[in-house]
A and B are shown apart, each in its own frame.
Chain A
Amino acid sequence: MPTKPEATPTTTGTGPIIDVRDLAVHFGLRGSSLARLFGRDAGTVKAVDGVNLTLARGEVVGLVGESGSGKSTLGRALLGLAPATAGSIVFEGQDLATLSRRRLRDLRRHIQMVFQDPSAALNPAMTVEEAVGDALRVHGMRSAEERRVKVIDALERVGLSPVELFLEKYPRDLSGGQKQRVVMARAIITGPSVLVADEPISMLDMSVRAKILQLMLDLKQDLGLTYVYITHDLASAKYFCDRIAIMYLGRIVEIGATEEIFANPRHPYTKALLRAIPDPDPGRQLPRDLPRGEVPDAAAPPLGCAFHPRCKEATPTCGWESRDLRTLVEAHWTRRSPDEYGAERAVVGDIDHFDKPATSTTLGAQGAPAAREFLDRVRIEAPDDPIWGGIESITDDGSGVRVHFHEGIDPALRRAGGVEVACVLYPETSTEG
């Protein structure tokens, strides 16, 4: 059992405390009961897919992304709450991914978690004293008096005073901010060195948010904590984090120092996120060209770069495929009259096979010329869509045409200036910055 390291000064550096290598967390999907009966696999969701992340002692790393980007799963995996499918999480020389459940439980006193919804994170049947003290109890502190002393100390640290007023309270008697303070008291009472904060302020009132963030900074100062701050809110991450990792569909697409990310965003997704930050200045007009569409289905991620279907700057080799063609064709049809739609539908024929990701697909039911003519019409309507660059060639095929796309490149994280980016726009040899 490694002992808790001495509190280090909050300056960044002195070696990694957690080293995540090629971490993958996949969840098996449950198919229909019939499919399960025949033992057929319904596929897997790659919630975290090949993440490398190094936490230096005393730093604050932000994990930022939309819902479904895998940021929470990555945070949970750091505590061993989500089982790692592959890769390693090395903390104090031990790989969390291979530890037994028992050893993992012991280790959790060193890595703690703060949850998004403080109302849900506390057992409604436990008083504040019981809830906070239970963290000690499960780690073998039997004496109620000893626990009480520690609980009072922890509650004072998180600013719940006079403590006597809170010890006997139930969660339902407390406000959101107070509950979050109790959750934090429970997290720090075992003397952890790493705290994973999963959107700790997003469920709180605006007035309490800054106070809770300040409290977290104070705790970091006093206890020498290292934070993993998970959020979808870049504005608070800018205030709070030393480094930021932008996540998209289970991968880190850009990681670097906060100032560098904000001053010089490189990945198109980062740029889009930064543009989405509301700006209270009415005089400033920012382009609000947010990424189109939604986060794709993580069970069947896009080929190539996962962001390419929503990317403004997509290149021909970003991984265009049949599903993108379907999106394009259907968007085209939403603007047709019912008659036009009927006629075009007959030309195109069945497009359900587009759902199977492929870099080459057939289209058309009434001969190649009609199909080509249809594609031209679509192109005239949306000439700027980057998908046209991704089409390598269109050849005649049976009753229609076969559309060939360029083979996509799945970009890896590469150094680009002061940050690391996973985007084909920033190739390996980049020496800028």
Chain B
Amino acid sequence: MRKVFKALAKPFTETAGLARWMLVIGIVITAVFVICAIFAPLLAPYGFDQTSADGVQFVKREAPSGDHVFGTDRLLFDVLSRTIWGARTAIEVVVLSIVICVFVGVPMGLISGYYGGWLDRILLLIMDALFAFPSFLLAIVFAFLLTNKLPSGGFSGVLAVSLSLSVIYVPQYYRVVRNTTVSAKEATYVEAARAIGASDFVIMRRYLFGNVVQSVPVIGTLNAADAILTLAGLGFLGLGIQSTEAAEWGHDLNRALADAGSGIWWTGLYPGLAIVLLVTGLTLVGEGLNETINPTLRRRRLLPVVMTPREGDR
């Protein structure tokens, strides 16, 4: 227990100055959104697709007021509620897509780097092709292909978007893990593991895995920021999640586009602000973690030693 706590506190105890502040601010911002996501039903005054309360229909495009702190949009939705519910969608999609990436990219990189040969060549070729493709275009194509293929239900939109985001990011995990595996497998301790009779699976699982996944958290958080933007972009184009399925900031921005010309600022401002804030928060966490974990950037905190004055030494 204490070990886990110590490991979690490591980014704080081992950073100094700017890196530490980046990490702290980033975590605070991200935490706010995570809390919004988890407790959305409690925090949001209305449901994300609620258009009336107590039998009274909301007013269309109502300016911010007591009942609707952030106002309402042209579909009668409450903007504050949709912004809070949007955090839930965003976090769901990001977490799901990163989990998929890690579960696909890391084992694939390990196997490819460890065995090498033609398997490595083919996987590298595929991954490089995916990597070379304009990522947003790729996401659009996959979102388009997947939207109606998955079994319908409340979660299918989120799953479809998560999958199409994973396709973009898997090559990064694969590449990083594969390259570190290629160099790590030459280490003597891998040969030593073979000498004690370990099988290939055991070597990958117990000897290589722990030594090659260290940069994955950094890629994960940096990708998370990018994923928020891509998700919003897909929503803005009307792909992926529909507004009756879940609240999605990008989709709300699309609808707010028409309002902007007529001086209705509240429908666009709040979802946009949410996107900017969450992306900033995740980027700060990622950069902060990078400085902690990446030894070439890390600068350890040096504490000044204060000697207690000796007795009678005046």
Contact = CB atoms under 8 A, between A and B. Distances in A.
B189 interface: yes
A190 B207 contact: no
A139 B197 CA distance: 7
B202 interface: yes
Contacts of B207: 123, 125-126
Contact of A120 (B188, B194, B202): B188
B183 to A, nearest CB: 13
Interface string A183-223: 10011001000000000000000000000000000000000
B210 interface: yes
Interface residues of A, number: 28
A43 interface: no
Contact of A138 (B188, B189, B198, B211): B198
Interface string A388-420: 000000000000000000000000000000000
A105 interface: yes
Interface in B153-195: 187-189, 191-195
Contacts of B199: 105, 138
Given A123-B207, A125-B210, A138-B202, A81 B188 contact: no
Contacts of B195: 79, 81, 108, 112-113
A7 to B, nearest CB: 21
Given A123-B211, A124-B211, A125-B211, A115 B197 contact: no
Interface in B192-232: 192-199, 202, 206-207, 210-211
B110 to A, nearest CB: 14
B189 A121 contact: yes
A113 B211 contact: no
Interface in B70-105: none
Interface in A104-130: 105-109, 112-113, 115-117, 120-126
A121 B188 contact: yes
A125 B189 CA distance: 11
A320 B199 CA distance: 47
A123 B189 contact: yes
B196 A121 contact: no
A122 B189 contact: yes
Contacts of B211: 123-125
A252 interface: no
A109 B197 contact: yes
Contacts of A387: none
A134 interface: yes
Contacts of B196: 108-109, 112, 134-135, 138, 186-187, 190
Contacts of A121: 188-189, 191-192
Contacts of A138: 193, 196-199, 202
A81 B191 contact: yes
B197 A108 contact: yes
Contact of B193 (A79, A134, A187, A190): A134
A76 B195 CA distance: 9
A114 B198 CA distance: 16
Contacts of A126: 206-207, 210
Contacts of B210: 123, 125-126
A187 B197 CA distance: 11
Nearest to B197: A108
Contact of B192 (A113, A124, A125, A190): A113
B192 to A, nearest CB: 5
B258 to A, nearest CB: 56
A135 B206 CA distance: 12
Given A117-B188, A125-B210, A138-B199, A81 B194 contact: yes
Given A116-B188, A138-B198, 17 more contacts: A79-B195, A105-B197, A107-B197, A109-B196, A109-B197, A113-B195, A115-B191, A117-B188, A120-B189, A121-B191, A123-B206, A123-B210, A125-B207, A125-B211, A134-B206, A138-B193, A187-B196
Please list the 8 inter-chain residue pairs (A to B) with the smallest Cβ-Cβ separation, ordered nearest first. Answer: A125-B210, A120-B188, A108-B197, A135-B196, A105-B197, A113-B195, A138-B198, A123-B189
Interface of A: 76, 79, 81, 105-109, 112-113, 115-117, 120-126, 134-135, 138-139, 183, 186-187, 190
23 contacts: A76-B191, A81-B191, A105-B197, A108-B195, A109-B196, A109-B197, A112-B196, A113-B192, A115-B191, A120-B189, A121-B188, A121-B189, A121-B191, A121-B192, A122-B189, A123-B210, A124-B211, A126-B210, A134-B198, A138-B198, A138-B199, A139-B197, A187-B196
